[in-house]
Structure 1
Amino acid sequence: MILYSLSINGWEMMIALGFMFAASVRVSNELGRGSAKAAKFSILMTRLTSFTIGTLLVTWTGVAIGAGLQSIVAYVNLTAYYLVGIPVGAVLGFVFDMEVKGVWIGMLFGTFVQTVVLIIMTYKTNWDEQVIIARNRVNRWTVKDGSEPDHTT
Structure 2
Amino acid sequence: MSDIDQMPVTMTVNGKKVQRFVDPRTLLIHFLREDLNITGPHIGCETSHCGACTVDLDGKSIKACTLFAVQANGAQITTIEGMANADGTLSALQEGFRQMHGLQCGFCTPGMITRAHRLLQENPNPTEEEIRFGIAGNLCRCTGYQNIVKAIQYAAAKLQGREFQEAAE
TM-score (norm 1): 0.29
Structure ID, larger Rg: 1
**More helix as a share of residues:** 1
Greater relative contact order (Cα < 8 A, sep 6+): 2
**More strand as a share of residues:** 2
TM-score (norm 2): 0.27
